[in-house]
């Protein structure tokens, strides 16, 4: 899915799911080049030829348009709670993306720590069947693997 041409996707019936803070890695795969591309306004144009300057200005205009489309895409995919916060706090897609990424990476780390501590603190009990306890331990291991 491209932020650059939202009209091209208007016939696509696969609407991206709303992002509420979970499954960040899956949702992140929906975002495009604009978040990793360098802002062309920050490039020094003093030593450019007229052709290069014209090409650069054309690229900068496209980048600016795509950046705005991408910001709107991020906001439109966000849950209402996230939309209210990020729409007023961040005016660029990159800044918004970095804040979302930092927030979600922190949550992911917390989940991993919790799953590992659950595994290390697990104790077998004599009054519960070994099969049930083995199943519980396997579920904890699968949780760690999925994280």
Distance from C-alpha of 14 to C-alpha of 58, rounded to nearest angstrom: 31
Q: What confidence category does residue 7 fall into, taking pLDDT thresholds of 50, 70 and 90?
A: very low
Q: Are 137 and 122 in contact (CB under 8 A)?
A: yes
Distance from C-alpha of 133 to C-alpha of 130, rounded to nearest angstrom: 5
Which is higher by pLDDT, 90 or 111? 90
Distance from C-alpha of 89 to C-alpha of 83, rounded to nearest angstrom: 10
Q: Is the pLDDT of residue 89 over 60?
A: yes
Q: Are 92 and 67 in contact (CB under 8 A)?
A: yes
CA 104 to chain centre: 8
Report long-range pairs for 108-117 (Cβ below 8 Å, ≥24 apart): 108/24, 108/25, 108/147, 111/147, 112/144, 112/147, 115/140, 115/143, 115/144, 115/147, 116/144
Average pLDDT over residues 73-99: 84
pLDDT at 22: 66
Q: Is the pLDDT of residue 117 over 60?
A: yes
pLDDT at 58: 92
Q: What confidence category does residue 4 fall into, taking pLDDT thresholds of 50, 70 and 90?
A: very low
pLDDT at 16: 52
Other Cβ atoms within 10 Å of 29 Cβ, number: 8
């Amino acid at each position: 899915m491209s932020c650059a041409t939202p009209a091209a996707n208007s016939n696509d019936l696969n609407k991206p799911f709303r992002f509420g803070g979970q499954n960040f890695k899956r949702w992140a795969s929906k975002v495009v080049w604009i978040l990793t591309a360098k802002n062309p306004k920050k490039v020094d144009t003093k030593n450019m030829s007229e052709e290069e300057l014209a090409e650069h200005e054309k690229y900068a205009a496209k980048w600016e348009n795509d950046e705005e489309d991408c910001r709107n895409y991020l906001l439109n995919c966000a849950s209402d709670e996230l939309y209210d916060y990020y729409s007023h706090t961040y005016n660029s897609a990159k800044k918004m993306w970095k804040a979302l990424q930092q927030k979600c990476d922190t949550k992911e780390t917390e989940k991993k720590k919790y799953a590992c501590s659950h595994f290390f603190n697990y104790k077998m009990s004599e009054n519960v069947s070994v099969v049930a306890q083995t199943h519980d331990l396997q579920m904890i291991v699968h949780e760690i693997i999925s994280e």
